[in-house]
Structure 1
């Protein structure tokens, strides 16, 4: 489940600038603050758990991240959180009894194979307490977000030394089934030539999500189409799922 775009230290250091805090972060922070113990699966730079600790959360916070470069950023910023390198399949989770598990930043879409999805969801189910909740989002496939990932939509930001960086995306051909492959290109003084990362994301629809959750002993409690908790429609940008043990 490693996002290879951020396996490099120089790219991981840019993540929070490229993805500034937004409505989705506020949504998840509210959930975290109301839970006694929280597991953040694919925690990235750890900003959600850092934000919770800064806001006064005094319970157990565990961030799990498979990309070592991202975890370096998390560990620099907040020592008061458990930071663990790996994914959900790397350890046994029975008995942890988390009140809440989250998977933010569309990290769920990096699970490409059926067995990887099943194994991850089963591990999450095992990590939850009897009344625990698993909350995650995936881009709604019917909204076809990938059609906007074009080279003309360039993001401009600065690296840690204040040097300008340009970032853009380009999709490699039409979707293959429910998978979309694209490149993310970084151009700046930190690299002798543009740094190109290739990634694939999986776009599961409502029925497929429900089927995988059920197979792992989870069921949908609520689903939203946007961060204001609107309904899921064909044009909704997100499928935000709140699931619990069956």
Structure 2
């Protein structure tokens, strides 16, 4: 089940407002150009920010996400229906003959168990053409991002068009490595409703990620830094080998 932050019908429409400028997406636009992709699969596409950018640049894009509420927001950004939107998960994709699959915004960390991660990698493998590429990011465990989250109790209030003022705050609820859980809370000032979303993440180190990629038919070509978050992320670029 996807977290309420992306699946609840009142939270999905405000996700982009609190997510801010998506400087992280430039990395994936660059990679799509570098590998000469034409057909791109956006896994965990959420509200469709990257998928729409890619279609504007001429790519053929499929976006997949298990959160129907987020896909509804994504479709509204794509009135011409250029993107193929799939409600589901990467483990059950058809053979798409994609040149490139991507997972942005640390989507790779939502797969908590080894079985879920393996199923996802195998699904991606099947959706790619031979020698197709996979690019994704994951937070560096040694950076201990959860410590920053725990010391940032600030409440942010945004006045969102059509919705009104919404207040957001975050707290870390559990650190039991490799799992870290945190909670986003939202107060809608128009009616006082408070909604919460609990989000567990799996922190995998570089060696673990590389070994799982190799075990599931990929060759790691490069591990980069995220230029908008230096020292905080691993950005993996891998190629389907079998």
Report the TM-score, using the length of structure 2 for normalisation.
0.90
Distance 1:31 1:165 in 2: 35
Match of 2:198 in 1: 198
Mapping of residues 58-77 of structure 1, within 5 Å:
59-77=59-77
TM superposition outliers: structure 1 runs of 4+ over 3 Å: 190-193
After superposition, give the CA deviation of every residue in 1:206-243 in whole Å (9 maximum; x if it has no partner).
1110121111111211111222697xxxxx20011001
Q: 1:60–1:145: structure 2 CA closer, same or farther, 3 Å change rule?
A: same
Number of residue pairs matched by the alignment: 236
Question: Shift of residue 245 of structure 1?
Answer: 1.7
1:48 aligns with 2:50: yes
Distance 2:9 2:163 in 1: 16
Q: 1:24–1:237: structure 2 CA closer, same or farther, 3 Å change rule?
A: same
Mapping of residues 16-35 of structure 1, within 5 Å:
16-33=16-33, 34-35=36-37
Moved more, 146-155 or 83-92: 146-155
Partner-residue secondary structure (3-state), 2:10 = helix
Unmatched 5+ stretches in structure 2: none
Distance 2:156 2:222 in 1: 34
Match of 1:222 in 2: 222
Distance 1:49 1:83 in 2: 9
Q: 1:29–1:158: structure 2 CA closer, same or farther, 3 Å change rule?
A: farther
Question: Shift of residue 2 of structure 1?
Answer: 1.8
Unmatched 5+ stretches in structure 1: 231-235
Distance 1:19 1:229 in 2: 15
Question: Shift of residue 30 of structure 1?
Answer: 2.6
After superposition, give the CA deviation of every residue in 1:99-154 in whole Å (9 maximum; x if it has no partner).
10000111111000100000100111111122211000011110011112135233
Match of 2:171 in 1: 170
Distance 2:193 2:107 in 1: 28
Mapping of residues 107-126 of structure 1, within 5 Å:
107-126=107-126
Partner-residue secondary structure (3-state), 1:204 = coil
Tell me, yes or no, if the aligned pair for 2:165 and 2:188 is still in contact at 8 Å: yes
Distance 1:229 1:184 in 2: 21
1:84 aligns with 2:86: yes
- Please, what is the CA RMSD of the aligned residues? 1.9
Report the TM-score, using the length of structure 1 for normalisation.
0.89
Distance 1:119 1:168 in 2: 33
Question: Shift of residue 15 of structure 1?
Answer: 1.3
Q: 1:122–1:193: structure 2 CA closer, same or farther, 3 Å change rule?
A: same
